[in-house]
Amino acid sequence: MAGQKKMKADVPRRKLIADKGPLSRATLRLRIVFSAERKIGPGKVDLLETIARTGSISSAARELGMSYRRAWLLMDEFGRLFKRPILTTAAGGAHGGGAELTDFGRAVIAAYRRIEDRTAEVVRSELVAFESDINNDP
C-alpha cells in the first residue's frame, strides 16, 4: 500500500520450511480466512506477540514500522473474530496506558504457531521428494 512502511527485517514474518538444503529457501505464510474481513495471519500474530512483549499497542506499532491507527484497526479486526477478548487496554495519559493479552489471546497465538509448525512439517514432508529437482538458480 502506498505510503505505508514495511515491517522491520528483524521481525519474523515467514515460517521456514527446512533448516538446510534447497527447501531452506522456501517459506510458508499461513493465513486462516473466516470471511473477507476476518482473518488470522502472520502479521496480526506478530503484532499481538509484540504487544505482549512491549505492553503497548503504540510501542508495538513503532517496532513493526506501522502507524498506531493501523495496529489498532488490525487488533480491532482480530478481536471481532472472537466472542472473548484477546486484548485488554488502559487509556493513556499522564500515568500511561497499556495493552495486555488475555489468557485467551495468548492461547490463540499459541494455537496459530502450532498450526504453522504442523503445516510446515507437512509441506516439508511433501516437498522433500522433489528437493533434488529444485532449481538452485536465484
Q: Where are the domains of the chain?
A: 30-86+96-129
How far is 60 from 58, CA to CA, in rounded Å? 5
Q: What integer pLDDT is reported at residue 16 of this predicted model?
A: 74
**Of 26, 12, 30, residue with least CA distance to 118:** 30
Q: What integer pLDDT is reported at residue 13 of this predicted model?
A: 58
Architecture of the structural domain at 30-86+96-129: Orthogonal Bundle (1.10)
Entry pTM: 0.80
Q: What integer pLDDT is reported at residue 93 of this predicted model?
A: 59
CB-count exposure of residue 27 (10 Å: 0-12, 13-18, 19+): middle
Phi and psi at residue 110, in whole multiples of 5°? -60, -40
Over 60: is that where the pLDDT of 85 sits? yes
Over 70: is that where the pLDDT of 115 sits? yes
Mean pLDDT lowest for which of 47-56, 113-122, 126-135?
Answer: 126-135
